Chain A
Amino acid sequence: MSDLDERIRSAKENPAPLPKSVSSRIDQTLADLPDRKRKSKWPFSVVAAAVLLFIGLIGSTYLSPVMAKSLSTIPVVGSLFAKVGDIGQQNAGLHGLTSPLHASIETPKASLAFEGVVYDGNRLSLSYVVSRNSEGKWTKKEIGSLLDGLALQVNGKRLGNYSLSERGERMNKDEYAGIITMVPGRSLPDHFQLKVIVHKLDDESGKWTAQFPVKKVAGDSFLLHQAKTEGKRTIQLNKVTFGATSTDIAFQLKEPKSLWDLENKGKANLSYELYDDHGHLLKSFSSGGGGSSRNGIMTSDEVAQFEPLNTLPKYLVFQPVLYVYGNKPAIKVKKPIDGKLPIPLNQGKDGHVTITKLNKNKKQITITARVNGKDPYIQAGSIWLTDGNGNNRSAAKSAKRLKSDGDLFQLTFNSVDSQKTWYVTTVKMKPPKVLKGLRFKIAIH
């Protein structure tokens, strides 16, 4: 037996323990497996529905003192959406499209109060405040573990395929407010009962649930029947949906599996751009999907999500762009923040950014940057701060595009000692390749 075989045998016989986060997720998943009974008799279903309805009603009216304390910091329903949401969730909050919730989960040490919900057919957004009974700062890791141990059910059934993300900020020492965004793999009913199952809160593990009704905020959808091919890629547009929190383009992508694999390996990234009828590039939230391969061709159903529009445009322009990543290390460009403005930063072929405004508080620095280039969101998102020792500090939230001037972006850096010397840093980048043969003009009728 060679040395390699001996080492493999030894590694197999003495496997490393599974990371706790993985093993606990496996155990939770097994504990929550749904029943696989194919048929249910109607009397049971009726009783179960009645019980669920009763629980929902109890859950929706019960307001504990801890929860009341949590919600006391939120003056207006929907304001959390406006405060901590992305541009789409802010839009829903500001236009009163969110529904108030009065449901909470409590443990002896902490409480999780749900403030509001909005489902627009594209995304489900759920705002919440999590509070500790004792004082203590919520860390990103603790909030991350809340999301790790969270499961959602619609009308009592597990959601098969969905993605979850979270954003938020600390309200005060022992409170954190956030928004959970769920993108379902299939569309949800117009009315449904949402059950939230939490397996970890603060440092306690268990199983707590809250349930409440959700009503879809109707958006406009248009079926599309346009297809284009460029090289070995084909895109067939299926639907555009104008929701309260996002604008979604659903399409089918066909490409050789070898190209698809390159993206999975992080060597390239096929992304998407959407312009409105004023030529304004909409902020991309995400894109993704799934499918299968046959005879070397990957066919996947994809959805690209962008910021919402408040009025229907006459048309949209949708196009894929391809980022190809090289092996060379990125060339960093950094300039000191020394009170002198403006601060120009060269971003290579992508363009340049100019820091035009700086606001310093004791522990916070906010910068305003004018972006000049073809990829403004990526360019603005590629700015961070570096201290004298080379430690990087990224912005608390993604760069915010200012409504007053579409070329201006604002970034806020929290927990920075503004008395220290900081450098504003970026990198030289190449613009993505626009796949012009797959550009669509989508007329909205």
Chain B
Amino acid sequence: MDIEKEVKRARRGNRQAFGRLIKEYENMLYRISFSILSSDHDCADAIQEAILKAFDGIGRLREPKYFKTWLTRIVMNESYQVIRRKQKVVPLERMVESGEEDKAYANLELEEVVEQLPEDLRLVIILFYFEDLPLKEMAKVLECPLGTVKTRLFRARTELEKLLRQDEGGKES
């Protein structure tokens, strides 16, 4: 798919082109929102709002080549909004129960290990390795200096390798 051409069509109000772009990036939308929310129900809410916000705002996106970065930022914002808008008084018993169906994505071993990382490290792994976002774009999306992104990425990779080794060690024993 020629992303830039599709973005230009979508900017002119072509709903089909916008739909094709969203389908192209739906796995990315889910990966990012799940790394923040860890619940399929909440992810669906955040992604829905992100799609609607993106549809409203795509006419104002100047550079089609930054569509992916722009969409990443929107879904991250909406995921944080879901957290903020949720009822703040969480019954304590809900904390001890686990959501079975929220783990649909966690069937892959690597994703399971990535999920164990703290959120800031999880996000950099997903953005850099899974979504191939350049470091400079990541700094924009994460609203932090480039150096911080590099440090986080180094820490995340080290931590991930450690967790994978532990995981394998556990299986062998």
Contacts and interface: CB of A to CB of B under 8 A. Distances in A.
Interface of A: 3-4, 7-8, 10-12, 15-16, 18-19, 21-23, 25-26, 29-30, 33-34, 36-37, 144, 148, 158, 160-161, 163, 165, 263-265, 269, 271, 284-290, 293, 300, 330, 377-378, 381-382, 384, 392, 394, 398, 427, 429
Contacts of B4: none
Residue from B19, B22, B47, B93 whose CB has the most chain A CB atoms within 10 Å: B93
A427 B130 CA distance: 41
B119 A29 contact: no
A3 B162 CA distance: 12
B89 A271 contact: yes
Nearest to A28: B48
Nearest to A257: B143
A381 B30 CA distance: 33
Contacts of A29: 47-48, 51-52
A33 B91 CA distance: 36
Interface residues of B, number: 53
A424 to B, nearest CB: 12
A265 B86 CA distance: 13
A375 B160 CA distance: 41
B105 interface: yes
A398 B90 CA distance: 11
Given A22-B30, A290-B84, A144 B41 contact: yes
Contacts of A392: 93, 96-97
Nearest to B157: A4
A287 B104 CA distance: 30
Given A11-B130, A378-B89, A293 B84 contact: no
Contacts of B41: 21, 144, 148
Contacts of A10: 110
Contact of A36 (B47, B59, B91, B129): B59
Contact of A382 (B22, B88, B92, B107): B92
Nearest to B44: A25
A16 B47 contact: no
A320 to B, nearest CB: 11
Which 10 pairs from chain A and chain B are nearest by CB? A19-B104, A25-B44, A288-B85, A394-B93, A382-B92, A36-B13, A384-B93, A286-B87, A30-B19, A11-B110
A12 B130 contact: yes
Nearest to A325: B95
11 contacts: A4-B157, A12-B130, A16-B111, A22-B44, A26-B23, A148-B41, A264-B36, A286-B87, A330-B92, A381-B92, A429-B92
A22 B47 contact: yes
A252 to B, nearest CB: 14
A394 B91 contact: yes
Please report whether the interface of chain A is mostly helix, strand, loop or mixed according to DSSP. mixed
B85 A33 contact: no
A7 B110 contact: yes
B51 A26 contact: yes
Please report whether the interface of chain B is mostly helix, strand, loop or mixed according to DSSP. helix
B43 interface: yes
Interface string B33-67: 00010001101100111011001100100000000
Given A7-B110, A7-B164, A26 B92 contact: no
B1 interface: no
B102 to A, nearest CB: 9
Given A4-B157, A11-B110, A269-B88, 10 more contacts: A4-B160, A16-B111, A26-B26, A26-B47, A33-B18, A37-B13, A165-B87, A264-B80, A300-B84, A381-B89
A15 B27 contact: yes
Contacts of B171: none
A4 B164 CA distance: 8
Given A7-B164, A36-B59, A287-B88, A26 B22 contact: yes
A33 B89 contact: no
B51 A18 contact: no
Contacts of A25: 44, 47-48
Given A21-B40, A22-B40, A26-B22, A163 B85 contact: yes
A19 B84 contact: no
Given A18-B27, A19-B104, A160 B89 contact: no
Contacts of B164: 3-4, 7
Nearest to A393: B93
B49 A161 contact: yes
Nearest to B143: A293
A7 B83 CA distance: 31
Interface in B67-107: 80-81, 83-89, 91-94, 96-97, 101, 104-105, 107
B136 interface: no
Contacts of A263: 84
Contacts of B27: 15, 18
A200 to B, nearest CB: 12
B15 interface: yes
A22 B84 contact: no
A289 B86 CA distance: 10
Contacts of B111: 11, 16
A351 B43 CA distance: 37
Contacts of B19: 30, 33
A16 B107 contact: yes
Nearest to B90: A269
B90 to A, nearest CB: 8
Contacts of A429: 92
Nearest to A149: B44
